[in-house]
Amino acid sequence: MKRVRVDQTVDDASSVGDGERPGPTIRIVTTGPGSNEAARAASTPATAVAALPIPEEEAVFDLRSLSCYYGDFRAVRDITLRAPKNKITALIGPSGCGKSTLLRSFNRMNDLIDGARITGQVLYHGVDLYADGVDPVEVRRRIGMVFQKPNPFPKSIYDNVAFGPRIAGYRGNMDELVEESLRRAALWDEVKDKLKSPGTALSGGQQQRLCIARAIAVEPDVILMDEPCSSLDPIATLKIEELMHELKQNYTIVIVTHNMQQAARASDLTAFLTMGTDRAGYLVEMAPTQKLFTSPDNRLTEDYITGRFG
């Protein structure tokens, strides 16, 4: 069993991935109990009710009153939700409502954008990802991301997959790791005879699975996907959806999609966001996917899923 030692205080809550291959004990908190996590938690005001009552212990992500800003502009407002372990959580909503911004806050990818900041909290296995002492590089290793447009490196298929582990100083058998990652991404059979070919020479759907293999190779716990199928044809899209279904046995997945059929087909839970007059995206409703698409509680959700808006 792989253990994610995030901090002494949350050691039990943070063991993940019973089905995963054994991996090293890792820490995302580089400083000890001296971090100001508790102080931050204490200073965070009580927030809106959680959209869906997911028990704290099942939550891989626990967002508390999260707002995301670019400079003075608030792109995402006051989001409180939980994403459970080994499930697929979909984020849907009209273009520009902050889905990508929100998703990037799950692994501190927004840190790389000048002027981006958050208020509120993103707890990951109970640990505040934005607390002092948390190493964003380690956060992004644990919480991988697959982007809208497949973006393999201009390297061979093999080297694309081996890239992350090499940087992380992986000392195991690289051939095995590459093979296993490609197998998990349902790509091995299609590429096993051309591992030295450039990743960019693959079809779009294969490239996206290569990017998933690359994400998997560093043994993450979560895979974030931002509209991973938007540039793919329907068959490649279905293949990725099937793959997501396989992957959730070992990983927690959060996917942004503007394709409602995809959310309905592929996810367990769906969160619907929309924009206020201030253009800040906010959470309207989160529910088990089937419920959200058949009997949403909120009129705004109903208008959106029936195509009256967005």
Per CB under 6 A, the list member of 21, 117, 279, 308 interacting with ligand ADP is 279
Q: Give me the residues paired with residue 83 across strands.
A: 61
* 87-146: contacts with Mg ion (CB under 5 A): 100
Q: How far is the CB of 147 from ligand ADP (least distance, A)?
A: 12
* Binding footprint of ligand ADP, residue count (CB under 6 A): 11
Please say which residue, 147 or 163, places its beta carbon nearer to Mg ion. Answer: 147
User: Any residues with CB less than 8 A from the CB of 75 and at least 6 apart, and which?
Assistant: 68, 69, 98, 101, 279, 280, 281
Q: Which stretch binds ligand ADP (CB under 6 A): 12-20, 36-44, 99-107, 142-150?
A: 99-107
**Min CB(253)–ligand ADP separation in Å:** 17
Q: Which does 97 bind (CB under 5 to 8 A by kind): Mg ion, ligand ADP, none?
A: ligand ADP
Nearer CB in complex with ligand ADP: 98/150: 98
Runs of H (alpha helix) within the chain: 37-43, 99-105, 136-142, 157-167, 174-184, 188-191, 204-217, 234-247, 260-266, 289-294, 299-305
Closest CB to ligand ADP among residues 114, 189: 114
The mark string for 11-50 relative to ligand ADP (x by CB under 6 A, - otherwise) is: ----------------------------------------
Separation of alpha carbons 274 and 97, rounded Å: 6
In whole angstroms, give the CA distance from residue 223 to residue 254. 7
- Is 107 among the residues that bind ligand ADP (CB under 6 A)? no
**What length does the chain have?**
310
**Strand order through the sheet with 222-226:** 127-128, 116-124, 59-70, 73-84, 281-288, 269-275, 88-92, 252-256, 222-226, 143-146
Min dist. Cβ of residue 110 to ligand ADP (A): 8
What is the C-alpha R_g of the chain?
Answer: 19
Closest CA to 292 of 283, 301, 300, 284: 301
Going residue by residue from 215 to 254, which x/- string records binding to Mg ion, judged by CB under 5 A?
----------------------------------------
Q: Residues in contact with Mg ion, total (CB under 5 A)?
A: 1
Which DSSP helix (H) or strand (E) runs through 194? none
Backbone angles phi, psi at 61, to 5 degrees: -115, 140
CB of 99: closest distance to ligand ADP in angstroms? Answer: 3
**3 state SS of 44:** coil
Member of 70, 147, 163, 188 binding ligand ADP (CB under 6 A): 70
Task: Report the residue from 10, 75, 157, 162 that binds ligand ADP according to the rule CB under 6 A.
Answer: 75
Interacting residue with ligand ADP among 101, 121, 207, 252 (CB under 6 A): 101
| Residue 126 lies near ligand ADP (rule: CB under 6 A) | no
Q: Where does this chain bind Mg ion (CB under 5 A)?
A: 100
Q: Where does this chain bind ligand ADP (CB under 6 A)?
A: 70, 75, 95-101, 113, 279
